[in-house]
Amino acid sequence: MFQLSPQIPSGFRKYDHLKTRMARAIAEDVATGLSASQKSIPSKYFYDERGSMLFEEICRLPEYYPARTEISLLRQNSPSIVRSFGHGYLVELGSGANWKIRYLIDALGPEKRSKTCYVPVDVSSSALEASAMELLRMYPGFCVQGLVADFTTDLHLLPDDRRKLILFLGSTIGNFDDAQTELFLRALSNTMQNEDRFLLGLDLVKPVEILEAAYNDSRQITAEFNKNILHVVNRELDADFNQNDFEHLAMYIEAKNEIQMHLKAVRPVEVHIGKLHMTVFFEEGETILTEISRKFTFESAEKMLHAADLEITDWRTDAAGWFAHAEIVHRNGG
């Protein structure tokens, strides 16, 4: 991947690692997911241009507390996070609209900013490019090196010629199941040098009414977001899903500490997926699992991180204890 020359370049560069691989990946993932007894489609396919915009709208909803709660944490704590980082690479995994990084870039101040390069990593090339341009309008001359890549498989592409602060915000780690979490944290841990830092945003366990309202908003934007995955499959794989055949379902499974989002068939449905030469049948009431969103406690976070040789050095929550930022080092470093 890119490494910086002694002179930090200003402006935007993009490295697209997915260009040729995405079409094959979605075909394989959808074929596997829709052949299982609990049908599923991976949540990373929400985020085409429309899906990324719908997610931004979700972040502005009154019911979706994670976004504003995390922003309040960043507003308060960015100066101290930046003090312990210094300068180097600010790597943001699943960077989306880049709203949150601005608090850290502001906290860097002009001198450290001139020695820092922002590396947004996202599957959504459109979101990555649009938000990089917006960032450069706000911070002319800043260095932004975007990486279009899948953070579940491509962390080896991260640069390693300077100190890194790796950010994984929004509790996106909650969208992984156990096996994906383990693989992801192990790969991340392997990319971390002694002096690197990892800032992880985690949505915490809380009363079920608050959690379920966040995924069942009154304007039904989350329902639109959920159904957008059917548009993506129709477009990418020449399928004929009809949105009206499915309804949005989101519920908290207390035994697993996770929200599950499904699309439920409201009648018997037959779908043809042209590029897969596949026909899929749904009984009335049958669902497609589109996302899990796990909720954490300090103990569960510490356990998953320890398993990957990662150590929490700071744990900050808002006053209500709804959302946390864990600052993390490699256990052999720190």
Tell me which of ligand AVI, ligand SAH, none is bound by residue 39, counting a contact when its beta carbon lies within the kind-specific cut-off of 5 to 8 angstroms: none
Inter-residue contact 48 to 294 (CB < 8 Å):
no
Burial of 303 (0-12, 13-18, 19+ CB in 10 A): exposed
Helix (H) or strand (E) holding 326: strand 323-330
Which of 146/170 has CB closer to ligand AVI? 170
- When asked if residue 222 is in the footprint of ligand AVI (CB under 6 A), the reply is yes
Question: Considering just the CA atoms, what is the radius of gyration of the chain in Å?
Answer: 20
Tokens 């030469």: give the residue: 277
Contact range with ligand SAH by CB under 6 A, out of 88-96, 129-137, 180-188, 308-316: 88-96
Contact range with ligand AVI by CB under 6 A, out of 21-29, 167-175, 176-184, 270-278: 167-175
Closest CB 282 distance from ligand SAH, rounded Å: 25
Binding residue (CB under 6 A) for ligand SAH from 94, 120, 146, 174: 94
Sequence-distant (≥ 6) Cβ neighbours of residue 55 within 8 angstroms: 46, 47, 96, 97, 225
Tell me which of ligand AVI, ligand SAH, none is bound by residue 174, counting a contact when its beta carbon lies within the kind-specific cut-off of 5 to 8 angstroms: ligand AVI
Tell me which of ligand SAH, ligand AVI, none is bound by residue 291, counting a contact when its beta carbon lies within the kind-specific cut-off of 5 to 8 angstroms: ligand AVI
The Cα 309–Cα 255 span in angstroms is 27
The Cα 105–Cα 112 span in angstroms is 9
Tell me which of ligand AVI, ligand SAH, none is bound by residue 260, counting a contact when its beta carbon lies within the kind-specific cut-off of 5 to 8 angstroms: none
Q: Write the DSSP symbol of residue 321.
A: S
Q: How many CB atoms lie within 10 A of CB 243?
A: 15
Kindly give the residue spans of alpha helices, DSSP state H, lying in 144-268: 178-191, 208-214, 221-237
Binding residue (CB under 6 A) for ligand AVI from 293, 296, 304, 328: 293
Binding residue (CB under 6 A) for ligand AVI from 89, 215, 241, 252: 215
Inter-residue contact 285 to 264 (CB < 8 Å):
yes
* Site size for ligand AVI (CB under 6 A): 10
Binding residue (CB under 6 A) for ligand AVI from 69, 78, 131, 172: 172
| List of residues contacting ligand AVI (CB under 6 A) | 58, 170-172, 174-175, 215, 222, 291, 293
| List of residues contacting ligand SAH (CB under 6 A) | 44, 47, 52, 55, 59, 94-96, 100, 122-124, 127, 150-152, 169-170, 172
